[in-house]
Structure 1
Amino acid sequence: MADRTFLSWPFFESRHRDLADSIDAWCATNLDDGEASDPAEACRSLVADLGAAGFLKLAVSDGDSRPDVRSLAIARETLARHGALADFAFAMQGLGSGAISLFGTLQQKRDWLPKVAAGDAIAAFAMTEPASGSDAANLQMTAERIGDDWELIGEKTYISNGGIADFYVTFARTGDEDGARGLSAFIVPADSDGLGVAEQIEVISPHPLARLHYDKVRVPAAAMIGEPGEGFRIGMETLNLFRVTVGAAALGFARRALDEAVRFAGDRRLGRGTLADNAVTKSKLGDMATLVDASALLIYRAAWQQDVGGQDHRRAAAMAKLHATEAAQQVIDAAVQLHGGAGVTRGVKVEELYRDIRALRIYEGASEVQRQIIAKDILREAGL
């Protein structure tokens, strides 16, 4: 049983504790403890089930306010502890529609957010390109104004929900200016003429991922989110809203790894006792537990700041994402080591977790990018 004492911390309200209870109970009843043979089909099913359960409402704006980051973080931590694909399905509904929640017109919100919340439409966030990953300011996809429409030409890659999404929030260059100032954001329905899946990408932790090709894809002017040239800001603020929740997912993986390690150490015979009696094992478990709690403190501090803190929270969000993902990698690696040969055997949970955690140190801002954000903020405060 994962530690839940953190829910008594002052960052939370009673509604957050109730949410943690309800999601945990839902996961225990509805999720299989193993990897899906068909991740795309499993993801479709999970989105529908999460929508039917009412949990996807957490991931979108209700029209008057931003999503509650503490609720998002609790949901992701809990889902990730039970199953990586469930966390993925939930998270992408939020990230994929996040630009609409934060910057969409009333009509755009009415058209898409209720469907996303109900699990009737699968969302995707299409920013990364073959020649630009973390360097989002230098995207090459173009969008040209033709009459009342915009015509998009280019490619996107490593797009989560690629091939199963009902719409893609797509970032493209609309002006002559170089860098961030020339980008805009569009809602592109998946059935648009000229939009196709060029390649399904297989990764170590299976989930729907694709390279997309936009061949003169036309969308109406009303499909633009915000104003021309605001795309970079829209994309970065969307990522910043959900950055803390990536750390929360990593925390869920780490908690599960710690639970698995404790259980294994208590069951594994070693001499006249168990592995848990060994001093080296105790030292390792102590380090793992400390890393988990440190991550939780950073995550829920940052989530609280985004919800009610009323201050610039980029540094706190970056610290939370950086520490939690890097620490989870260490915790899971230690759990694998404690399991010995079983730790690298397919079908054993810690082996699955070892593959699940790796991408979180890369996507939505790699660890190196988070370190730059933190350092720039420190230097700015020092007047340097």
Structure 2
Amino acid sequence: MTIVPVALGARSYDVVIEAGLLARAGDHLASLSPGRRMPIVADENVVPHLDTLRASLERAGIASEAIMIPAGEGSKSWATLERLTDRLLELGVERADHVIALGGGVMGDLVGFATAILKRGCGFVQIPTTLLAQVDSSVGGKTGINARAGKNLIGAFHQPKIVLIDPTVLDTLPARELRAGYAEVAKYGLIDDAAFFTWCEEHGPALLAGDAQARVYAIAHSVRAKARIVGEDEFETTGRRALLNLGHTFGHALEAEAGFSDRLLHGEAVAAGCALAFGYSAAHGLCPVQDAVRVAAHWQAVGLPDGLAAAGIAASAERLVDHMRHDKKASGGHVPFLLARGIGQTYLDKQVSLEDVRSFLALQPR
């Protein structure tokens, strides 16, 4: 068992990582709300895991109620949020109760936001079942839903009470979903840990092929990296936490163009976005060209998109830049970009010209 603390004062919590943990989840949750029912919000993709979790809760003396939500990014909507909060209120959820989010990033984002606003805030537990959610979205307290104007524009910071990660659930994850989550793993190396990116180059293919030891190492390393950054800048006020958005400004524009659908998964968009961020940095003399080439080569090696063409995006540069104008991090008419001086040397630039970005994107193969 590996326990990674997320140090946030009164909002601190642990991330517990252990093979087979799902079947023992009740042991870790029994003390949260003694004698109270724990609703579980899940989608049809995780029904086998739901059965394991409910059996574990029952053994620990915890009653549960399953609330099924349609799978996919489309569930991060006002309509689904309304249905979920209405159902939680019907179940009599109180402020001291805890709701379990079982599934990928969509479930975590949706349940986190629902519990942030329900009765002005109640507790929730993250049990992520995708690699992307295990290494990124389940940790840090960013919750929310999408709007017509863009991704995650409606939301709140709301930390979970505990995060339980069972790496063995990844054995049932489709290969495409696993690759998409891997983009968030390698991203930590690109941000400020060049040695970890080298590890990814050496072990990433084995991780994706099923190497259990590589998966556990990558998950624990990624969670520690995110916990450290979140602990330094919980509400993204100093700029430190913004580094976690590497690839996201480009990536969210690609997702918007794809209609926030399964046509382009979030992790795939992040991979393409990271490649574009390094490509833009190299084109402007900010980082060595060979580093941008290295990033693109690694994405190609593991089957992730390394740009617009590989991501299936044919939209004009003007259209993609227009999507960026709706980015939730926009301020004073500027959109902050994460750029790079090299692998492991990401930095935040708040003065990037969108005209320069448009010119760069216009030259990208489609």
Q: Aligning the two structures, in what range does the TM-score lie when normalised by the shorter sequence?
A: under 0.3
TM-score, reference length from structure 1:
0.27
Structure ID, larger Rg: 1
Q: TM-score, normalised by structure 2?
A: 0.28
Normalized per residue, which structure has more helix?
1
